[in-house]
Amino acid sequence: MAPQTLVEGPTVASREAIDQFSMALRGDLITPGDTGYDDIRALYNGMIDKYPALIARCQDVADVIATVNFARDNAVPLAIRGGGHHGAGLSSVDDGLMLDLSLMKGIRVDPIARTVRVEAGCLQSEVDHATHAFGLATPTGTVGSTGIAGLTLGGGIGHLSRKHGLTSDNLLAADVVLADGSLVTATADEYPDLFWALRGGGGNFGVVTSFLFRLHHVDTIIGGPMLWPLDQAQDVMRWYRDFIADAPEEINGFFAFLTIPPVPLFPEALHLQKMCGVVWCSTGSLEAANDILAPIRAQIPPLVDAVQPMPFPALQSAFDALIPAGLQWYWKADFVRDLPDEAIAKHIEHAHKMPPFQSTTHFYPINGAVHRTGRNEAAFSYRDVTWAQVIVGIDADPANAAAITNWAKAYWEAVHPHSAGGAYVNMMMEEGQERVRAAYRDNYDRLTQVKRQYDPANLFRINQNIKPAK
């Protein structure tokens, strides 16, 4: 039977195949023109606007299997959506099928075994909420609205990285629907190659329907920002560079250039001032954190010091309201081993040109516990560096899209020579195959072998794509 046009959209499959697919789903199959289509297809990055021909709102694993089988059998381009946060909009596809996991929200904490089972549609804040009730947490990122699925599969860097490793270092098992429609559970012992690849290799190998994570005792933390005027940035960066290299693992601090948002949280005199800062998170006692931070408070007293005891989820979601979904985003990343004075000077030069007021630069530490896993022990390769650096142009107004993009690109060009070479796949735009290869270094060839074994036809290709080995 010849393919027919679906509604008024593009031709993706025969009407009969689509009807059968729809009937096989417990969740809804959404098409252009359906109520809610525009809300459901919307991505976190407002700069990217894609129009899928079909959206399968999966309710369970059976729905995921039906969706994978339909896409494969009808050669329909397939995108997988977890939280929809990827900067490059890699969870959607024009004229194809979006497999939407956002309704799969189950979370089960086992406080005795200290594990949490998380379905793939959960956001970071939902996981924090569930585990905090038991005084437990698993390491995730720094913004509550981030999807747990994409975060984990790319690596997962955040406030607990130095103490407990990446999100993917705390993954114990993953349920995965493979390209042939079968479901497997990957662990260090079962499907070990697949498990190795899932720990940083992105969504290349199948649709993960749920994750099992290790939990740690993390309850009240000592956290929050310290801020300094930009004209003190050179001294602060030098101090921070030396401090974080061998700071106690219980403390994490990511360095930032930022513009103070015009909100009551900050003193009015500082509104729209460009500043630098460190956002701290210490899992030890208040006394221990004060001892660790005493030197910086004495040497370069911060203008704002909001470091205080707080429930861990409060820090995890502290910045969510400042960056709601739908803003324009353009980011450029690199891993960084050292910060010589020459690099610091370039950073400060471009921080002065930072467009107001959400654009920012972050240096996320990935030393400490992250270094205890070898660079070939999981797909995430850059474990011999100090930071994941990201330069982010952000603005609410689409008219400023070019300005934030140009700022991020020029800044990145200036500091890239000081980088370790590759970047974190979760903080890259679509930058071509060489950049994907650079992200994985000597793990790339093994990833292509695992890809050939589990997805030889590259069904899962709307991602930071790893091509199957020939």
Ligand X SMILES: Cc1cc2nc3c(=O)[nH]c(=O)nc-3n(C[C@H](O)[C@H](O)[C@H](O)COP(=O)(O)OP(=O)(O)OC[C@H]3O[C@@H](n4cnc5c(N)ncnc54)[C@H](O)[C@@H]3O)c2cc1C
**Count, residues in the chain:** 470
Shortest distance, position 401 Cβ to ligand X, whole Å: 16
Shortest distance, position 221 Cβ to ligand X, whole Å: 16
Shortest distance, position 19 Cβ to ligand X, whole Å: 26
Shortest distance, position 72 Cβ to ligand X, whole Å: 15
- Our CB check for ligand X shows the closer of 156 and 302 to be 156
Minimal CA–CA distance to 207: which of 120, 97, 306, 308? 120
Q: Yes or no: say if 148 and 122 are a contact pair by the CB < 8 Å rule.
A: yes
- Our CB check for ligand X shows the closer of 31 and 140 to be 140
What b/e readout covers 285-308, taking b as 16+ CB neighbours within 10 angstroms?
eeeebeebbeebeeebebbbbbbe
Q: Yes or no: say if 395 and 403 are a contact pair by the CB < 8 Å rule.
A: yes
Rounded-to-integer distance, Cα 352 and Cα 175, Å: 46
- Our CB check for ligand X shows the closer of 87 and 277 to be 87
- Our CB check for ligand X shows the closer of 72 and 238 to be 72
- Our CB check for ligand X shows the closer of 228 and 364 to be 364
Largest Cα separation within the chain, whole Å, is: 77
- Our CB check for ligand X shows the closer of 95 and 235 to be 95
Shortest distance, position 465 Cβ to ligand X, whole Å: 9
- Our CB check for ligand X shows the closer of 47 and 289 to be 47
Shortest distance, position 460 Cβ to ligand X, whole Å: 7
Shortest distance, position 391 Cβ to ligand X, whole Å: 13
Q: Yes or no: say if 468 and 454 are a contact pair by the CB < 8 Å rule.
A: no
Residues that bind ligand X (CB under 6 A): 44, 79-87, 90-91, 101, 120, 141-143, 146-147, 149-151, 153-158, 202-203, 207-208, 323, 426-427, 462-463
Q: Yes or no: say if 300 and 228 are a contact pair by the CB < 8 Å rule.
A: yes
Shortest distance, position 149 Cβ to ligand X, whole Å: 3
- Our CB check for ligand X shows the closer of 15 and 105 to be 105
Bond before 257 cis per omega within 30 degrees: no
- Our CB check for ligand X shows the closer of 136 and 315 to be 315
Shortest distance, position 140 Cβ to ligand X, whole Å: 7
Shortest distance, position 262 Cβ to ligand X, whole Å: 20
In this structure, are strands 97-100 and 78-81 parallel, antiparallel, or unpaired?
A: parallel
- Our CB check for ligand X shows the closer of 46 and 141 to be 141
